[in-house]
Amino acid sequence: MLIRAYGSFWNPDIVDWGTVGAGNKGSLVGKVKIKKSTHKIDFWDAVAIYVLHDQFKTVYIGKAYGSRLGPRLRDHLTDRFAGRWDMFSWFTLSTVNTVNPGLRAPGTRQVNPETILNTLEALSIAITDPALNRKRESIPKAIEAIQVGDSPKAIRSYLEEILEKIDQ
């Protein structure tokens, strides 16, 4: 098992981004279901691959390793990608800990080649959503995290609707 948990098409407008500086971290809270129990987990410090989307289309893929998931995503709010994405997905190697809700750093593990191939195929399909793939793979043994909070309409799409009405 490579990918331990993932979140698809999360809305950045309902994320607590915190502020830059020590002790001001934000939170990326998701609900996970494990053995019929639901837990809230903060994925801010996850080691992960992440995807920035604009209207469900992939516009950028990055990794969060030295700088963790939350800070990497927060940086993209003000860097050259600012205003060019309205959703994000992530796929973490960090282990979900439900005893003390949170994450454990990914350890070194031996994984057989078939598991690696199955995971890479499922991850590639999840990220790119190729039109000719009928097969929709699940990521082997990964836990899906559902974003916590109401999902308001993305600001960008709201502004685009207003502009369309003005142009008419």
- Domain residue ranges of the chain, discontinuous segments joined by +: 5-167
Q: What is the per-residue pLDDT for 150?
A: 67
Q: Which tens digits make up the pLDDT trace of 136-160?
A: 777 878 899 999 976 566 666 667 7
Q: Judge whether 147 and 34 are in contact, CB under 8 Å.
A: no
Ranges under pLDDT 50 in the chain: none
Q: What is the per-residue pLDDT for 25?
A: 87
Q: Judge whether 59 and 53 are in contact, CB under 8 Å.
A: yes
Name the 3-class secondary structure at 105.
coil
Q: Is the dihedral of CA 26, 7, 96, 116 positive or negative?
A: negative
Q: Judge whether 40 and 29 are in contact, CB under 8 Å.
A: yes
Q: What is the per-residue pLDDT for 141?
A: 83
Contacts of 40 (CB under 8 A, 6+ apart): 29, 30, 31, 101, 148
Positions of E strands within the chain: 5-10, 29-34, 37-42, 48-54, 57-64, 87-92, 95-97, 102-104, 143-144, 146-147
Q: What is the per-residue pLDDT for 110?
A: 80
Closest among 40, 22, 94 to 65, alpha carbons compared: 94
Q: What is the per-residue pLDDT for 7?
A: 95
Q: Judge whether 64 and 50 are in contact, CB under 8 Å.
A: yes
